[in-house]
Structure 1
Amino acid sequence: MLQRLVDDDVLVLTLDRPEKRNALDLELCRALQGALDGAVTGPQPVRAVVITGAGSTFCAGADLDGVYGDDFREAHYGMLGAITSVPVPVIAAVNGPAIGGGTQLAAACDLRVATQAARFAVPTARNGLAVDPWTIRRLAHLVGGGHARGLLLAAETMDLGAALASGLVQREGDLTDAIALAHDLAALAPLSLSYAKRVLGSPHLPDDDPGLHAEFLACFASEDAAEADAARREGRRPVFRGR
């Protein structure tokens, strides 16, 4: 259902429902949310997360046998919320088609690395369903209004080339490349990454929001900022501890 692997300070989560092309059901959504909620508070806290799919599909979307109940919708959007709220970078390693809920899952992540086999689509207009306003705005923010209209109103499919050109995908690569990127991010200052992630994910908050301002100032006052300064003067790489 969900494979969990900790590689030093990187958590790799693999959707593993090959018989359903890794489609999301209630159990898988809850498992993903649980893994993300414990990513930084569990016995093995990590500094970056990679989400991918087993086999040749990233995620075929929601399992249509169970999407019509309130329980699934709550679990689905709770899982997407966990991706955006966990205070570490989350990378989608898109190894194949990401359809419907699969595109939502990839879009919720902070960065996307994808192979030539990747395909993105949100065909809700073909099945009478809908995605929530957050997803629509998130897609418009990531790919621009024109591409978002193509995905949502024309039910178009975006291949890797279009995804790279639009900014939906940041890098071409496979799971190994995504994990390497995650390790690179894990070596950066955690407070700086957490702050940037929160601002990027909260475009509705004013610039003078007290919480954001406090996080901004905390970066400058952190031990990590002092460590970066010391490392620069000593000619070595800084070792950040997230405090």
Structure 2
Amino acid sequence: MINVSTTDAVGLLELDRPDRRNALDVAQCRRIVEAVTGLVDGGVRAIVVTGSGSSFCSGADFGEVYTDGFRDALHAALRSVAGAPVPVVAAVNGPAIGAGTQLAIACDLRVAAPGAVFGVPTARIGLAVDPWTVRRLAQLSGGGTARAILVGCDRIGVDLAHARGLVDRLGERADALAWATELATLAPLTLRYNALALDRDDLADDDPALLAAFEDCWNSDDRHEGQQARLAGRSPIFHGR
């Protein structure tokens, strides 16, 4: 199960398999894709991903992880989160192991509660994560931490994860929702461009997609709105165009 709701232009996607500590199977991965698509189509300006109970996501469901369809379903879920055109915040309320860490790092930002733990122990079970996960983990937490997690099979607690940059803020679900509510008021085209430039460090400065996103910001109605709001001493109201 996945619980989906929307408040003040912020979508909440809650994994809800407490009996399996929110482990991901094929059906759950497909539900993530459907939930993200539905929230974006519904006009949300930010999304929070979290888990019910005491776990964020304990990883892949071992009843399906070795099946032919699981890997494709997981990658589709991760791509839907990482590729969402709005900011996605992970409210990591507890352990995020294996696919749980992958889901957390697919989000743009991470807020973690005291019980959060990260780890990718694939070497203990003879599996492997895709290259995107390896590079993304290194990009967020640094090469040393990524090696400790992937090669050393270390589990990283919330304080160390915060110190290393894997976690952006310490807090609970309410803190993640408050941050997402703030993000929902910011200029969507600017946020989209910033995320593209950060996530796609393989793009050259003159890449057409990067340049187009950059020019969209400067040529947008939102740029004019930001200017007018500043002159008037009021908060801007952005529409993403």
Written as runs of structure 1 = structure 2, the 5 A alignment for 1:146-225 is 146-225=144-223
Per-residue CA shift, 1:83-125, capped at 9, x if unaligned? 1111100000000000000000001100000011000010001
Gaps of 5+ in 1: none
Could you tell me which amino acid in structure 1 is paired with residue 140 of structure 2?
L
Contact kept, 8 Å, 1:99 with 1:120, in 2: the verdict is yes
Cα distance in 2 for partners of 1:12, 1:30 equals 17
Corresponding residue for 1:27? 27
Identity over the aligned pairs, expressed in percent? 54
User: Normalization by structure 2: what TM-score?
Assistant: 0.99
Corresponding residue for 1:143? 141
User: Normalization by structure 1: what TM-score?
Assistant: 0.98
2:105 to 98, 104, 107: 107
Contact kept, 8 Å, 1:87 with 1:197, in 2: the verdict is no
Gaps of 5+ in 2: none
Does residue 13 in structure 1 map to residue 13 in structure 2? Answer: yes
Matched residue of 2:69: which SS?
A: helix
Does residue 226 in structure 1 map to residue 224 in structure 2? Answer: yes
Matched residue of 2:161: which SS?
A: helix
How many residues get paired? 241
Cα distance in 1 for partners of 2:40, 2:16 equals 23
Cα deviation, residue 205, structure 1: 1.1
Written as runs of structure 1 = structure 2, the 5 A alignment for 1:15-94 is 15-41=15-41, 44-94=42-92
Corresponding residue for 2:93? 95
Cα deviation, residue 39, structure 1: 2.4
Contact kept, 8 Å, 1:23 with 1:63, in 2: the verdict is yes
Contact kept, 8 Å, 1:84 with 1:201, in 2: the verdict is no
Per-residue CA shift, 1:168-208, capped at 9, x if unaligned? 00100000000000000000000001111111111111111
Cα deviation, residue 37, structure 1: 2.0
Cα distance in 2 for partners of 1:215, 1:142 equals 23
Contact kept, 8 Å, 1:95 with 1:174, in 2: the verdict is yes
